[in-house]
Amino acid sequence: MTDSGPLPATAEREEPALAPTVGQRAKRIFLSDYFVLYLSLAYFLVLMPFLPTLSNPANLANILSNMWPLLVVAIGQTFVLTIAGIDLSQGSVVGFTSVVGAMLLAATASPDVLSNAPIWGLIIDETGGPLAGVPGGIALAIAAMIAAGGLIGAANGLAIAHFRMPPFMVTLVTMIVISAFAIFLTQSENIRNLPEAYIQLGKGDIVSVYFGEQDESRIPRREIYSFITYPMIIAVTVAIIAHIALSRTVFGRQVFAIGTNRRAAEISGVPVKRVIVLVFTISAVCATIGALLYSTRLEAGRPTLGDGNFLLDVIGATVIGGTSLFGGKGKIIWTVFGVFFFVLLSNTLNLMNLSSFHIDMVKGAVIVAAALLDVLRTRLIRGGI
Amino acid sequence: MAVLLSFEALRKEYFGVPALRDLTLDIRRGEVVGVIGENGAGKSTLMNMIGGVVAPTSGEMRWLGEPYHPRMPSDATARGVAFIHQELNLFTNLTIAENIFVDDFPARFGMIDRAAMRQRTAELLSQLALEVAPDTSVDSLAPGERQLVEIAKALHRDAELIIFDEPTTSLTPRETAKLFETIERLRADGKTILFISHILGDVKRLSDTVVVLRDGQLVAQEPAAGFDVPDMITAMIGRALGGLYPDRTAAPRDEIAFSAKALSQPGILEDVSFDIRAGEILGLFGLMGSGRSEMARIIFGLDPLEEGALTLKNQPLTGGVRDRIARGVAFVTEDRRAEGLLMDAPIAENLSLVSIEEFGRAPLALLDHARLDHRTEQLKTDMIIKAGDIKTQPARALSGGNQQKVVIGKWLMRHSDLFILDEPTRGVDVGAKFEIYALADRLAAAGSSVLFISSELEELMGMCDRIMVMNRGEVMGMFDRADFSERAILAMAFGKQAAGKEVAA
């Protein structure tokens, strides 16, 4: 632009140099990366007097433990939304890979439950899965889960990148096929009797707190509140790696470029197809790590683990964080806060003793509000109003 | 002639920064008024005020002497203002008739009266000498025809004042000629026309009066007859431009750097052969549909090539886009918005997009931010990109000329042997055009080959060592600089057999 006729957007950006007014300060908070975090804290503080149980240690530990697995899955979704895609198959990957891990690792299985399943006798029987009791078996089983999840993601990516099929369609079909396959494998039964070391991944902790007198030699498990847990360490590690990948690598720049304008990216020599395949693979691998956390917490492999409203939670939390459904805009830190808000919201609605129908209606309304906020923020940034 | 629209001390400020400063101007009824000025001179602001998109900060607009305060675009439409925009606002999935009647379908017994619609549309179309059926779908129309549909829409609404904003950018010379006839006819019918264009020759040819804006002020208002293009440029930029084109700094070298041999692709190219020497700027002239942009895409590896061979620096040029970029081919696309830029991404990210892989540090390709920022800042200074903080300001916030510099700039972050510039000055103001020409010269002087594609013959004649003419996918001829002749080149481009036609080497 020539120096004569600045666009409103520039004029606006120059203004904060002057003393900011209340309106400007509010706008800056609204546009900040931490907006959703502020919102969550405000929400928490407002509800604290009405829901006394909200702030007690057991509930806080509960909120955190609900947060980690969802965060890992939502991080995968963040990559996909940033390239202007969508991954509807994450829930089915969660269910399927939880079954894969469990059928390889179960120490024993009951014929009453699983004898009708096609895996009975082939992979699993009364003596458990092929990796039960094998040294390093857990690592092998996790590798197998990640390979299975990664392959599903890569297949999604290949169909989308090379055949230019819409992500919505491709991942919808994957969702249907993979959930059906997972249910078929166990005939809709759960696989239990997982090894203790495996369960530790979902339930174990490093720092835990016990409030109260120690009058017995053993403290009942449910009275110990875990804060620094294995799921937390796993989720935070995934988040840090994802944050670096998205914001500090060549790959991350290419992800944003594709999400902003795929054709311009192609013409500028971005390896568009490779990046798309990689992004959908990341999404499925994140779902797999999520499956590991969910399934070990449940102490079972369950084909329907990612069914129902799970997808609503994942996409809802990601969008609430601020990642745009239109692509080109996404940050891992936003997703962290979005997931926190979403988990907090679900938790408070539970504490209010609302029915699950009410809870879903409220969640839906919140997601619509988040989408609206996204539009509003974009407009504010562009200076259109 | 009566005054249709007058501005009295009209002023518009955005956040205290004036975009239009106390403009006083009368527009007489039945006149064609050319409005020129560099990007950011205030043209768009003025048009937005006439159209009811923004309100003036102070001052007064009068319409036939009455105060005129449009609050929204529909107020302006109701008064009789119509806009024909650069990007047309038609529903391409609907028919011509449906587009014309889109906001007031004639109804009979609650049903759309299609017969009445068709009849009225046919009348309008015949007025504009557009010979297509009212039921034709808009997406089957050429850009020029679509524009006529826009004009028909304006006529249907009894528009008094029709504002053309860069109407010729996507038209072929033939369509442009037809548009100008139409504008003449509209004037004869008593309509008032505002004609905004960067193509000053057109403005001079078409207008009765030319109005020049600079820095939000009216700097000249002259009868077009005595106002020559160099004077217009001087008025627009506030100083005399040392010629429209920079002098070429170096002569082409002898070695052939790029060659195309017998390129054929059914329906697009037929037996096209040509060479470009190192340091040479080869112009490519042709009408829309001549295959010029299609050939550029084929050379860059975006579209398939059935037969023929491409050679760059004595090595065959094959593979996809990434292979060609690695070999040193750069492509500045004609469609800046859709293919050239990440409009919503910061300028720095646009500049670094092509060469981003060179800034990754092994083994994880972590970005070397310090080096990256240094290089993009350097490029911003070097190319005189007028922008604030390139790390936050999106490409969308730049003017057309500066956007184009970003599109070219991203190819300058690395060395390329062949630059394909497809319409590099489209929608760019005079000052920025000169800078883009100077850049093309610099690339050639550094030994790169440049294929300069344009539908503005003048700029090709100003900048190129040779001009190749294409028509319907075939090379019609090649002109050396000494033999440049506007008439001969145009005749050849229109497919007429020109005397003394040389066939490409």
What sections of chain A are H helices per DSSP? 8-14, 22-31, 35-47, 57-82, 90-105, 111-114, 137-162, 167-186, 196-203, 230-248, 250-260, 262-267, 272-298, 310-321, 332-351, 356-382
User: Which residue in the block uniquely carries the two structure tokens 């403005």?
Assistant: B203
Domain B254-328+415-505: state its class: alpha beta
Give the ipTM.
0.83
Q: Determine which of B13, B14, B198 to mutate to test the interface with A (most A C-beta atoms within 10 Å).
A: B14
> Contact B39/B401 with Cβ under 8 angstroms?
yes
Inform me whether the C-beta atom of residue B344 falls under 8 Å from chain A C-beta atoms: yes
CA B123 from chain center: how many Å?
A: 32
DSSP β-bridge partners for residue B469: B285, B477
Q: What is the pLDDT of residue A367?
A: 86
Q: Distances in Å between the alpha carbon of B503 and those of B253, B410, B496?
A: 22, 35, 15
Q: Do B339 and A264 touch (CB under 8 A)?
A: yes
> Contact B466/B280 with Cβ under 8 angstroms?
yes
* Cα radius of gyration (chain A): 23
What single-letter DSSP state applies at residue B434?
Answer: H
Q: What is the pLDDT of residue B33?
A: 95
> Contact A190/A299 with Cβ under 8 angstroms?
no
Q: Distances in Å between the alpha carbon of A27 and those of A18, A324, A380?
A: 15, 19, 8
Q: What is the pLDDT of residue A8?
A: 41
Distance to chain B for A149, nearest Cα, Å: 23
> Contact B6/B54 with Cβ under 8 angstroms?
no
Q: Determine which of B17, B39, B344, B407 to mutate to test the interface with A (most A C-beta atoms within 10 Å).
A: B344
Q: Distances in Å between the alpha carbon of A264 and those of B292, B340, B354?
A: 20, 5, 10
Architecture of domain B1-80+160-243: 3-Layer(aba) Sandwich (3.40)
Q: What is the pLDDT of residue A7?
A: 40
Residue A95: partners with Cβ closer than 8 Å, 6 or more residues away: A178, A179, A182, A183, A291, A302, A303, A304, A305, A306, A307
Q: Distance between CA B380 and CA B499 in Å, rounded?
A: 47
Q: Distance between CA B186 and CA B128 in Å, rounded?
A: 9
User: Which residue in the block uniquely carries the two structure tokens 């594609």?
Assistant: B453
Q: Residues of A with CB below 8 A from B354's CB?
A: 268-269
Architecture of domain A33-207+237-380: Orthogonal Bundle (1.10)
Q: Distance between CA B348 and CA B140 in Å, rounded?
A: 39
Q: Distances in Å between the alpha carbon of A181 and those of A194, A326, B290, B412?
A: 21, 31, 54, 52
Inform me whether the C-beta atom of residue B243 falls under 8 Å from chain A C-beta atoms: no
Q: Do B356 and A263 touch (CB under 8 A)?
A: no
Q: Residues of B with CB below 8 A from A382's CB?
A: 396
Q: Do A328 and B344 touch (CB under 8 A)?
A: yes
Q: Do A1 and B39 touch (CB under 8 A)?
A: yes
The CB density around residue B318, as the number of other CB atoms within 10 Å, is 12
Q: Residues of A with CB below 8 A from B369's CB?
A: 248
Q: Residues of B with CB below 8 A from A270's CB?
A: 353, 356
Question: Hey, where are the domains in chain B?
Answer: 1-80+160-243, 89-159, 254-328+415-505, 346-413
Q: Distance between CA B303 and CA B297 in Å, rounded?
A: 6
Q: Do B41 and A5 touch (CB under 8 A)?
A: yes
Q: Do A257 and B42 touch (CB under 8 A)?
A: no
Inform me whether the C-beta atom of residue B45 falls under 8 Å from chain A C-beta atoms: yes
Q: Do B321 and A266 touch (CB under 8 A)?
A: yes
Same fold, B1-80+160-243 and B254-328+415-505: yes
Q: Distances in Å between the alpha carbon of B195 and those of B7, B63, B64, B125, B176?
A: 17, 18, 20, 22, 13
- Looking only at the bridges linking them, the beta strands covering B32-36 and B3-14 are unpaired
Q: Do A2 and B40 touch (CB under 8 A)?
A: yes
Q: Distance between CA B328 and CA B405 in Å, rounded?
A: 19
Distance to chain A for B443, nearest Cα, Å: 19
Distance to chain A for B360, nearest Cα, Å: 6
Q: What is the pLDDT of residue B429?
A: 79
Q: Distance between CA A24 and CA A287 in Å, rounded?
A: 40
Residue B333, amino acid: T
If you measure CA to CA, which chain B residue comes closest to A266? Answer: B321
Per-residue pLDDT of chain A (385 residues; tens, 9 = 90+): 334 433 444 434 444 445 667 777 877 877 788 888 999 999 999 999 999 899 888 899 899 999 999 999 999 999 999 999 999 999 999 999 999 999 999 999 989 889 899 999 899 998 999 999 899 999 999 999 999 999 999 999 999 999 999 999 999 999 999 999 999 999 999 999 999 999 999 888 877 777 766 666 666 666 667 778 999 999 999 999 999 999 999 999 999 999 999 999 999 999 999 999 999 999 999 999 999 999 999 999 999 999 888 998 999 999 999 898 889 999 999 999 999 999 999 999 999 998 888 888 998 898 888 888 878 877 776 554 3
Q: Determine which of B353, B367, B430 to mutate to test the interface with A (most A C-beta atoms within 10 Å).
A: B353
CA dihedral A345→A350→A353→A356, nearest 10 degrees, is: 100
The CB density around residue A268, as the number of other CB atoms within 10 Å, is 28
Per-residue pLDDT of chain B (505 residues; tens, 9 = 90+): 689 999 999 998 876 677 888 899 999 999 999 999 877 788 888 998 999 888 898 999 999 989 999 988 889 988 999 988 766 678 888 999 998 888 778 888 888 888 889 999 999 998 888 888 999 998 888 878 888 898 898 889 889 999 998 888 777 778 888 889 989 999 999 999 999 988 888 899 999 999 999 888 899 899 998 888 888 888 887 766 567 788 898 999 999 999 999 999 998 899 999 999 999 999 999 877 788 999 999 999 999 999 999 999 999 999 999 999 999 999 999 889 889 999 999 999 999 999 999 999 988 889 999 999 999 999 999 998 888 889 988 898 888 888 999 999 999 999 999 999 999 998 787 788 889 999 999 999 999 999 999 988 889 999 999 999 998 899 999 999 999 988 888 888 876 544 444 443 3
Whole-number mean pLDDT of chain B? Answer: 88
Q: Do A267 and B359 touch (CB under 8 A)?
A: no
Q: What is the pLDDT of residue B242?
A: 60
Q: Do B15 and A11 touch (CB under 8 A)?
A: yes
Q: Do A249 and B342 touch (CB under 8 A)?
A: no
Q: How would you class A204 by CB atoms within 10 Å of its CB: exposed for 0-12, middle for 13-18, buried for 19 or more?
A: middle
Q: What is the pLDDT of residue A217?
A: 62
